[in-house]
């Protein structure tokens, strides 16, 4: 019997385990999980803290029982401390300090990522939180319940910071978002970042851009947050969400090659440089389909795909990861903001000659009630006419998320922008237009391109 050992009980690890068992009922699969929360939806934490998900147990994609029913063994509250590739074994320790060695035929590493701790004085003060694990979120939840804070400063205007701004506002807390970039959500173009800032302000959130936070100090029962440009804010709690780094010390000490930001290097089969060791998810470098190179781009969707491939290959499969396009969407209050592929600046850096246009239209025929505006950015290569990326912002009921997916599917197939008009997309007046907004924006790009480059 083959022994498949998996380190990490989040998206990548669980996907690998389930896929392996699905394909081979004879493989023995064990997952080493550092806490008691296997297969939890980390992306759901903000909605638990907002109160919209009353019971944290509901954040589980699957319960522990559902996982073990597939034949997968869960070793909860165990942390892997040593990988010994020579003897194909892994040392684990439980919360009581008891150690044991587990042997493997195939090993999948899915240790994920950890929150970046920025250089801010006072990060360890009570009332100051990082947010990544379920334990983090219990700590925040307890603080919210026991202290009933009236105000909060969120350091970091990325998608987790903004989801938390929404979540805390939902609880009636006065929120200030501090972001060091000139606009929030710097993963999209500033023009959309400004739309997001407007949505935040519409919900009474203060937004401070271009500010670097330096210190957090205890002042009575409150916290004083100070930063560049004489920024000062006294608040009841502070959340720091400035991104994550891959968690790879274990892998590194076992001789696994790492690269960008310390992420584990894998090939498209999710194999590391060490035989019989695979890695997947937020701890690895990810193949980018458009850039044709490895990047560090941790996303839950990607972790699921990579874990599934690692699990399949670990039981004799031969799958290759098709690559990420960085497709993502976030909902902030009523606004959905989505992107796929490359933005203009990213495309330039990659050596393309991008042209980006901005286009505004309605999600459906405006004569039918309830039409929502969509702001669409299309980026294409001015040399070849090839689609390079798209960004959409609009009301979340305007099918923003699945419209970016039409772009993502087009990108997957290396379509030219002009070819998007050939797609046979669905239409009824309450839900679209005879040319879907995706196609209207593509046509606007082509018109601009033809004018500018012919």
Residue 430 within binding range of a second copy, rule CB under 8 A = yes
**Tokens in use for 163?**
């989801």
Which listed residue (142, 249, 428, 452) binds a second copy by CB under 8 A? 428
Task: Give the one residue of 305, 385, 390, 394 binding a second copy; rule: CB under 8 A.
Answer: 305
Q: Does 160 bind a second copy (CB under 8 A)?
A: no
Instruction: Decide whether 88 or 304 has the Cβ nearer to a second copy.
Output: 304
Question: Which of 228, 301, 384, 452 is in the footprint of a second copy by CB under 8 A?
Answer: 301
Is residue 26 near a second copy by the rule CB under 8 A? no
Q: Which of 41, 79, 181, 234 binds a second copy (CB under 8 A)?
A: 41
Q: Which of 21, 78, 132, 308 binds a second copy (CB under 8 A)?
A: 308
Q: How far is the CB of 147 from a second copy (least distance, A)?
A: 25
Query: In this complex, which beta carbon is closest to a second copy, that of residue 276 or of residue 360?
Result: 360
**Do 389 and 343 touch, CB atoms closer than 8 A?**
yes
Write down the least CB distance from residue 331 to a second copy, Å.
Answer: 5
- Region binding a second copy by CB under 8 A among candidate stretches 93-101, 108-116, 381-389, 427-435: 427-435
If one asks whether residue 426 binds a second copy (CB under 8 A), the answer comes out as yes
Please select the residue that binds a second copy; options are 37, 359, 396, 445, rule is CB under 8 A.
396
Does residue 357 belong to the site contacting a second copy (CB under 8 A)? no
The answer to whether residue 323 forms part of the interface with a second copy (CB under 8 A) is yes
If binding is defined by CB under 8 A, does position 302 make contact with a second copy? yes
Minimum CB distance to a second copy, residue 36 (Å): 18
Half-sphere exposure of residue 145: CA atoms within 13 angstroms, side-chain side: 10
Question: Is 293 an interacting residue with respect to a second copy (CB under 8 A)?
Answer: no
Closer residue to a second copy (CB): 61 or 373: 61
Interface with a second copy: number of residues (CB under 8 A)? 69
One of 1, 204, 232, 367 touching a second copy (CB under 8 A): 367
Q: Contact between 139 and a second copy (CB under 8 A)?
A: no
Secondary structure of the chain in the HEC alphabet?
CCEEEEECCCHHHHHHHHHHHHHCCCCEEEEECCCCCCCECHHHHHHHHCCCCCCHHHHECCCHHHHHHCCCEEECCEEEEEEECCCCEEEEEECCCCEEEEECCEEEECCCEEECCCCCECCCCCCEEECCCHHHHHHHHHHHHHHCCCEEEEECCCHHHHHHHHHHHHCCCEEEEEECCCCCCCCCCHHHHHHHHHHHHHCCCEEEECCCEEEEEEECCEEEEEECCCEEEEECEEEECCCEEECCHHHHHCCCCECHHHCECCCCCCECCCCCEEECCCCECEEECCCCEEECCCCHHHHHHHHHHHHHHHCCCCCCCCCECCCEEEEECCEEEEEEECCHHHHHHCCCCEEEEEEEEECCCCCCCCCCEEEEEEEEECCCCEEEEEEEEEEHHHCHHHHHHHHHHHHHCCCEHHHHHHCCCCCCCCCCCCCCHHHHHHHHHHHHHHHHHC
Contact with a second copy (CB under 8 A) among 78, 233, 331, 375:
331
Contact call for residue 453 and a second copy (CB under 8 A)? no
Least distance from C-beta 282 to a second copy, angstroms?
13
Among all chains, which residue has been given the structure tokens 């320790």?
Answer: 93
List contacts with a second copy (CB under 8 A): 11, 22, 41, 43-44, 47, 52-53, 58-59, 61, 289, 299-305, 308, 322-331, 336, 338, 340, 365-369, 396-397, 399, 401-406, 408-410, 412-413, 419, 421-432, 434-436, 447
């Amino acid at each position: 019997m083959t022994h498949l050992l998996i380190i990490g009980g989040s998206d990548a690890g669980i996907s690998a385990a389930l896929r392996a068992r699905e394909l081979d009922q004879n493989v023995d699969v064990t997952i080493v999980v550092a806490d008691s929360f296997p297969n939890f939806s980390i992306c759901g934490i903000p909605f638990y803290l907002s109160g919209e998900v009353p019971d944290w147990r509901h954040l589980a994609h699957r319960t522990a029982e559902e996982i073990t029913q597939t034949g997968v063994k869960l070793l909860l509250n165990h942390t892997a401390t040593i990988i010994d590739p020579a003897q194909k074994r892994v040392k684990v320790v439980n919360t009581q300090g008891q150690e044991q060695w587990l042997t493997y035929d195939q090993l999948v590493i899915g240790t994920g990522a950890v929150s970046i701790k920025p250089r801010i004085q006072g990060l360890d003060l009570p009332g100051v939180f990082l947010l990544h694990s379920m334990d983090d979120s219990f700590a925040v939840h307890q603080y919210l319940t026991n202290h009933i804070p009236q105000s909060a400063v969120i350091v970091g205007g990325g998608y987790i910071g903004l989801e938390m701004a929404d979540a805390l506002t939902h609880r009636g807390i006065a929120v200030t978002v501090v972001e060091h970039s000139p606009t929030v959500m710097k993963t999209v173009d500033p023009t959309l970042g400004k739309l997001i800032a407007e949505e935040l302000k519409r919900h009474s959130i203060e937004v401070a851009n271009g500010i670097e936070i330096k210190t957090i100090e205890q002042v009575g029962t409150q916290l004083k947050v100070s930063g560049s440009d004489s920024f000062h804010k006294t608040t009841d709690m502070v959340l720091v969400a400035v991104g994550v780094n891959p968690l790879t010390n274990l892998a590194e000490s076992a001789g696994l090659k790492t690269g960008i930001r310390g992420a584990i290097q894998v090939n498209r089969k999710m194999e590391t440089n060490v035989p019989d060791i695979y890695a997947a998810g937020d701890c690895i470098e990810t193949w980018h389909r458009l850039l044709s190179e490895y990047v560090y781009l941790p996303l839950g969707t990607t972790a699921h795909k990579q874990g599934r491939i690692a699990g399949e290959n670990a039981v004799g499969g031969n799958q290759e990861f098709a690559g990420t396009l960085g497709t993502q969407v976030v909902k902030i209050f009523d606004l959905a903001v989505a992107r796929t592929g490359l933005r203009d600046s990213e495309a330039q850096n990659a050596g393309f000659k991008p042209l980006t246009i901005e286009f505004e239209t309605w999600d459906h025929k405006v004569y039918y009630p309830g039409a929502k505006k969509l702001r669409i950015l299309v980026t294409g290569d001015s040399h070849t006419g090839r689609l390079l990326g798209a960004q959409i912002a609009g009301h979340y009921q305007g099918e923003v998320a699945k419209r970016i997916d039409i772009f993502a599917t087009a990108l997957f197939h290396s379509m030219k922008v002009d070819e998007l008009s050939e797609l046979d997309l669905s239409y009824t007046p309450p839900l679209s237009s005879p040319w879907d907004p995706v196609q209207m924006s593509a046509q606007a790009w082509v018109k601009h391109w033809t004018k500018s480059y012919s």
